[in-house]
Amino acid sequence: MGDAPGKEVLMPKGTKIALGFALIPFFMLVLALPFVNRIRPFIFGLPFLLFWIVLWVFLTPFILMAAYWAENRFNRKSGQDKS
């Protein structure tokens, strides 16, 4: 809002990395489902598709934690930490 018109605003490196990490669960839970839509094999008694969804639901917080750490680490190094 306070930027001059026509001035290019660059996204910090840490933010780009964090967005990349955040896209992983989206792709795995939404876009990859047609490719893993299988009933067999059964893994831990679950059809493969249900196992896939449960696996990514459990992995998502860890991936987002890595995104948070990456954004803080790289943005702090470049002097763009807001705190």
pLDDT per residue as tens digits for the range 7-64: 666 878 888 888 999 999 999 999 998 898 888 899 999 999 999 999 999 999 999 9
Domain residue ranges in the chain: 14-77
Torsion of CA 58, 61, 63, 69, to 10 degrees: -160
pTM over 0.75: no
Q: What is the pLDDT of residue 12?
A: 84
Q: Is 47 helix (H, G, I), strand (E, B) or coil?
A: strand
Q: What is the pLDDT of residue 65?
A: 94
Residue whose token pair is 């930027």:
3
Q: DSSP secondary-structure letter at 40? A: -
